[in-house]
A and B are shown apart, each in its own frame.
Chain A
């Protein structure tokens, strides 16, 4: 088997950087696209895009989309879709408004109750999908109508607000500078030391964990990326993190939602990549019958992905309401499209079984940066939609093209 074992070595060590890139074009392509898009808008907006205030805005504007994309990724990997999330955002925001404004509930009662309602909504939809095998498209399309109507009814067609400060902090609050001495060390006037240090620590952690997993993969003969790529990728990622945290530090520091979003992203990335639960969801989406015959309780798992989606949609609803400081009947309209688009731009497959959390987050940022950049440039909403649609199409075509080339 001389030829095969030689080929084997090739695969293990990555024949060359070029070969490796060809095989992982998709993963890098996404990040490169994001960078290119950012560079484009940075130039066309005369540097407005990466101003501290705008970076902060980018996070505030996209946090709820990203949070929902985490849940949507699981739903799509499991081979389903959820069209109701936009309406759930509206409904939960309305509910929170009614609870706090009309009923004078404290936020410590409102927030858990609203999350609970989200869970129940997910459970109600997931029940029909998982145990009755009603296509998720239909069930959640119904949900989309039902909850849009329900939020109209809750608000009686009016806007309800404003909310207590504490509640607004969910979205527009910032972590205070817990390390005030840092700015004296650097002798700058306006800088949130905590933000900078957090950025540095996270960048360091990412590099350290990358090195560790690289060493481990090597030890077990797994495919490792060429050193040059590893260095370049880590430089880029940690550089970006430090840059962003520095920019944020010179404005108002780390937004609360950034922390929520970051922590959730890490948790979901961990679940999908490293846990039994995550692995089973991929298997379920990849081949439901085989998964079932392998002892996976496919119905329950499907049900849980929708419960989770409901909870995250509710959280997104709260954050969105907090940001607007008012609940309106139109809140969340067509959010589901942005969320779904983010997941597909991020490389998930319509037929299930394929997709990554990081991809979905990058996909959401691509959509977010485009929204933001085009708004700054003053491009009309009409063109914006056209361009976003084309980008989605291009990303998926790129995917399919890559896949065909590899087989």
Chain B
């Protein structure tokens, strides 16, 4: 087998940051190559160099593709030779149809007039290929993230792809959707498409990749053969974090106290389709010193439940009561919810969590500005101290807190959102997919933070699609399905099978 791609000694610097330092990467023709590494290690940057997002000249080093020296001055040139990248943050136009999205910039047209017949015909063929059964005319924002990801792949296929790059394609997908996507990759491999996949889900990497390259701090650490059984997740982790990690979840002694937050008979209707009830009679409670999980499939209403509680940020005709410390709490607006002691860490950091153009420092203090101000005047010194404190405490990889959050790697952005809400000092912290897109080492750090919070007598309500995470962290797990809480399990009772059985039975 011959190499399709060789990246030699790639170095890329941003103002103040050396993101890549003489990285080497060799990808064989027809293989699935996994790229793993901690948040901010430089994975996305390397792929952007490869695909011409950062044009030749803006980095040092050589790219050999298909036996030739390649110097792409833009994404169009890399696409022309069959390198297609699907970015970490999806790039579909929400209010256009699937068909329109597939052929955006590449329209099927005659004399400048779009040929809709041809467009739809080809769309149908492509959708069939990726196993997506949606009408070509469906608007993209009407389908879930999992399906959007498939649309992205269909779009790649429409351009005669030879080397497909997927940057964390499954981080926002349910287990079922992830599996479908991985199956598709295997199928494409059989058809001769080479892929590079970036992922923090090492079980996926183990199951699908032929070879794995580990990057740490902008340098290549190792390339491992993943075929057969020899390569363990622990081995990969060792290269990623530079040391052995004995366990994935830090130990914690569970000592639940009194009920801290209680939600009674919570009902929510859909904001636009007023006849659709999204949450039905939800009742739940969180005790001091307790980590409570909410398990459920994507779309089961977990985020909607959390956001409707947090200042009625979602839904209409909301009814029900929230008690904090036994007294009825006013959660009718976000600022009142915060004042009552709630905080909500969103799952959608880019749109709902961060001001991307602002600095790390300004983002961290945003939800609790009065804490760094006196009489409405912000003390920048105090602000910097707070931000620096979080940078060290949860290890945000950045040259300084004056960096724009938009320039951070995905995982580090997540840490900024988390810092923001830790700084708001809530009694009950609602975490919505808190470790999405976060590397194993940082996950461990975040679990440690959660444990420390509950040890201080706070309560944590954690929504997660990763069952192992819920099982490893929670004292109690609620199971949600189609807008209703359909079961409750203690840590001792809980298992993947029992949670799934609740979902299936309801």
Of B352, B358, B370, the residue contacting A293 (CB under 8 A) is B352
- 11 A-B pairs, CB-CB below 8 angstroms? A1-B217, A220-B380, A220-B381, A223-B400, A286-B356, A287-B354, A290-B351, A290-B366, A292-B313, A295-B337, A297-B335
Name A's B-contacting residues (CB within 8 A): 1, 3-4, 7-8, 10-12, 19, 23, 216, 219-223, 274-277, 279-280, 282-283, 286-287, 289-297, 353-354, 406-407
Q: Are A296 and B378 in contact (CB under 8 A)?
A: no
Cβ contacts under 8 Å, A286 to chain B: 355-358
Docked Cα-Cα span, A279 to B337, in Å, equals 21
Give the contacting residue for A353; candidates B358, B380, B424; CB below 8 A.
B358
Q: Which residues of B contact A222 (CB under 8 A)?
A: 380, 384, 402
Q: Which residues of B contact A280 (CB under 8 A)?
A: 369
| B378 close to A8 (CB less than 8 A) | no
Instruction: Provide the bound-state CA to CA distance between A7 and B380, in Å.
Output: 23
> Hey, which chain B residues are within 8 Å of A291, CB to CB?
355, 366
- Complex CA gap A210/B336 in Å reads 39
Q: Out of A221, A276, A296, name the residue touching B376 (CB < 8 Å).
A: A276
B399 at the interface (CB under 8 A from A): yes
Closest chain B residue to A284, Cβ basis: B355
- Beta-carbon nearest neighbor of B16 in chain A: A11
In the complex, how many angstroms separate the beta carbon of B407 from the nearest chain A beta carbon?
A: 8
Please count the residue pairs between chain A and chain B whose beta carbons lie under 8 angstroms apart in the complex.
118
Bitwise interface map of B from 314 to 351 toward A, beta carbon under 8 Å scored 1, else 0: 00000000000000000001110110000010100001
- Cβ-closest chain A residue relative to B406: A407
Residues of B near A296 (CB, < 8 A) are: 334-335, 366
Alpha-carbon distance A61/B384, docked complex (angstroms):
42
Chain B residues with a Cβ under 8 A of chain A: 13, 15-18, 21, 217-218, 310-311, 313, 333-335, 337-338, 344, 346, 351-358, 362, 366-367, 369-370, 373, 376-378, 380-381, 384-385, 388, 397, 399-400, 402, 407, 420, 424
Separation in Å of the A300 CB from the closest CB of chain B? 10
Find out whether the CB atom of A4 lies under 8 angstroms from the CB atom of B17: yes
Contact B399 A11 (CB under 8 A): yes
Instruction: Give chain A residues whose Cβ lies under 8 Å from the Cβ of B357.
Output: 286, 353-354
Chain A residue at smallest Cβ distance from B369: A276
Cβ contact within 8 Å between B333 and A297: yes
B218 CB contacts on chain A under 8 angstroms? 3
Taking the closest CB of chain A, its distance from the CB of B358, in whole angstroms, is 6
- Give A280 to B337 CA distance when docked, in angstroms: 18
With A11-B16, A293-B344 in contact, do A275 and B376 touch (Cβ < 8 Å)? yes
Considering residues B218, B333, B366, which has the most beta carbons from chain A within 10 angstroms of its beta carbon? Answer: B366
Q: Is the interface of A mostly helix, strand, loop or mixed?
A: helix
Question: B399 — which chain A residues lie within 8 A by C-beta?
Answer: 4, 7-8, 11
Residues of B near A290 (CB, < 8 A) are 351-355, 366
Task: Name which of B354, B358, B402 has the most chain A CB atoms within 10 A of its CB.
Answer: B358
Among B15, B311, B356, B373, the residue within 8 A (CB) of A287 is B356
Which A-chain residue is minimally distant from B351 (CB atoms)? A289
* Distance between B353 CB and nearest chain A CB, rounded to angstroms: 6
Closest chain A CB from B389 CB (angstroms): 12
The answer on a CB contact under 8 Å between B385 and A220 is: yes
Pair A11/B15 contact, Cβ less than 8 Å: yes
Contacts A11-B15, A296-B335: A279 and B367 contacting too (C-beta < 8 A)? Answer: no
B307 to chain A: closest residue by CB: A293
A279–B367 CA distance with the chains assembled, in angstroms? 11
Q: Report whether B355 and A3 are in contact in the complex, using a CB–CB cutoff of 8 Å.
A: no
Identify which of B357, B381, B424 gathers the most chain A CB atoms within 10 Å of its CB.
B357
Residue of B nearest to A6 (CB): B18
Report yes or no: B353 in contact with A3, Cβ–Cβ below 8 A: no
A297's closest neighbor in chain B, by CB?
Answer: B335
Q: Is the CB of B352 within 8 A of A12?
A: no
Bound form: Cα–Cα A405–B494 in Å: 53
Q: Please, which residue of chain A has its CB at the minimum distance from the CB of B354?
A: A290
Would you call A4 and B352 a contact (CB within 8 A)? Answer: no
When the two chains form their complex, are residues B378 and A10 in contact, meaning their CB atoms are under 8 A apart?
Answer: no
Q: Which residue of A lies closest to B348 (CB)?
A: A289
**Residues of B with C-beta under 8 A to A12:** 400
Q: With A and B bound together, what is the CA distance between A382 and B376 in angstroms?
A: 48
Q: In the complex the two chains form, what is the Cα distance from A58 to B218 in whole Å? A: 55
Give bound CA distance, A1 to B391, whole Å.
15
Q: Name the CB-closest residue of A to B313.
A: A293
The answer on a CB contact under 8 Å between A293 and B373 is no
B381: chain A residues within 8 A (beta carbon): 216, 219-220
Which B residues are CB-close (under 8 A) to A287? 351, 354-356
Q: What's the least CB distance linking A291 to chain B, in Å?
A: 7
User: Is the pair B16, A7 in contact by a Cβ cutoff of 8 Å?
Assistant: yes
Cα-based distance from A11 to B13 in the complex (angstroms): 13
| The one of B217, B313, B420 that contacts A4, using a Cβ cutoff of 8 Å | B217
The answer to whether B352 touches A11 (Cβ under 8 A) is no
- Cβ contact within 8 Å between A8 and B366: no
Bound form: Cα–Cα A8–B403 in Å: 11
How distant is the Cα of A128 from the Cα of B106 in the complex, in angstroms?
41
